[in-house]
Amino acid sequence: MRRRKESALLDTVHIEAGPVTLVGDLGIPEAAHGVVLFAHGSGSGRHSPRNRFVADVLRQAGLATLLIDLLTEQEEEEDRYTAHLRFDIELLAERLVGATDWLLHEPRTSSLGIGYFGASTGGGAALVAAVQRPDEVQAIVSRGGRPDLARAALEGVRTPTLLIVGSKDDVVIKLNRQAMARLPEMTESQLVIIPGASHLFEEPATLDEVAQLARDWFRLHLHQTIKSS
Residues with Cβ within 8 Å of residue 114, at least 6 apart in sequence: 34, 35, 36, 37, 100, 103, 104, 133, 136, 137, 138, 222
78 burial (CB, 10 Å; 0-12 / 13-18 / 19+) is: middle
pLDDT in tens, 165-217: 999 999 999 999 999 999 999 999 999 999 999 998 999 999 999 999 999 99
Is the pLDDT at 122 greater than 60? The verdict is yes
Residue type, 74: Q
Residue type, 173: I
* Global pTM value: 0.92
Percent of the chain with pLDDT over 70: 92
Q: Measured in whole angstroms, how far is the alpha carbon of residue 62 from the centre of its chain?
A: 17
3-state helix, strand, coil in the chain (%, to 5): 40, 25, 35
For residue 138, give the nearest of 119, 158, 118, 153 by alpha carbon: 158
pLDDT in tens, 4-34: 445 557 899 999 988 899 999 999 999 999 9
8 A C-beta contact, residue 94 and residue 70: no
User: CATH says 17-221 is which class?
Assistant: alpha beta
Mean pLDDT of all residues in 112-134: 96
Residue type, 210: V
- Across-strand partners of 142? 118, 163
* pLDDT score, position 3: 46
For residue 96, give the nearest of 118, 134, 63, 126 by alpha carbon: 126
Cα four-point dihedral sign 153, 176, 93, 225: negative
Residues with Cβ within 8 Å of residue 60, at least 6 apart in sequence: 7, 29
Is the pLDDT at 54 greater than 50? The verdict is yes
8 A C-beta contact, residue 207 and residue 47: no
* pLDDT score, position 222: 97
* pLDDT score, position 229: 43
18 burial (CB, 10 Å; 0-12 / 13-18 / 19+) is: exposed
